[in-house]
Chains A and B, each alone.
Chain A
């Protein structure tokens, strides 16, 4: 199946700094990518939908100025957590859909962010 890669898999940063997480579709082009957040022992919550070449669509309650999403190419979307605080510590997962609208979703392996 298609491969979605996230980097870094783990990151530790100091409070107040910004962290960038990359999501790449390795063997297909993804016009749409999705960013999820997962709290410990909980389900995934959709944060935003990232569309190549346009602004991301954020879910209600997600601060767009805190979580900056850029989808500059058909194979790369980035999530930047700005001025991170300990409450931003979480597991962030991206997914990408293969072309065709109803294409299957493939998930990255996730990035665990710890803010000290």
Chain B
């Protein structure tokens, strides 16, 4: 079994300040973890993924995430928020090796203010 918990449903930051979106997971096997971003009325775009290689993963648009097995966490960070980062972010877990079962977190709505 696997599950994902996104600890914050809404996060609000000022433009130019750091972003932290939290994600904890549980998995019976070695997981692959992903962060996706969804802009309003759009599909999902992959930001980054962890698949048992380096624990610090760099993604697009300046985002990165660190896989911490001891804390079962995969938090998403960005040093400096931009207005265009305002969107919904989903943390996703799947068994390593692929498989069809993606488990989505409930999402975190990121708001970026001037």
Contact = CB atoms under 8 A, between A and B. Distances in A.
A49 to B, nearest CB: 5
Nearest to A5: B43
A93 B43 contact: yes
A109 B43 contact: yes
Determine the main DSSP class of A at the interface with B: strand
A43 B88 CA distance: 10
Interface residues of B, number: 19
Nearest to A59: B101
Size band of the interface chain A makes with B: 20 to 34
Nearest to A6: B43
B107 A102 contact: no
B56 to A, nearest CB: 20
Contacts of B97: 101-102
Main secondary structure of the interface of B (DSSP, over half): loop
A32 interface: yes
Interface in B5-61: 36, 41-46, 49
A114 to B, nearest CB: 12
A29 B96 CA distance: 22
Contacts of B44: 44, 93, 95, 107
Contacts of A105: 46, 102
Interface of B: 36, 41-46, 49, 90, 97-98, 100-102, 104-107, 109
Interface string A64-104: 00000000000000000000000000010101010001111
B33 to A, nearest CB: 13
12 contacts: A4-B43, A42-B107, A46-B101, A95-B44, A101-B97, A102-B98, A104-B49, A107-B44, A108-B43, A110-B42, A110-B43, A112-B41
B10 to A, nearest CB: 10
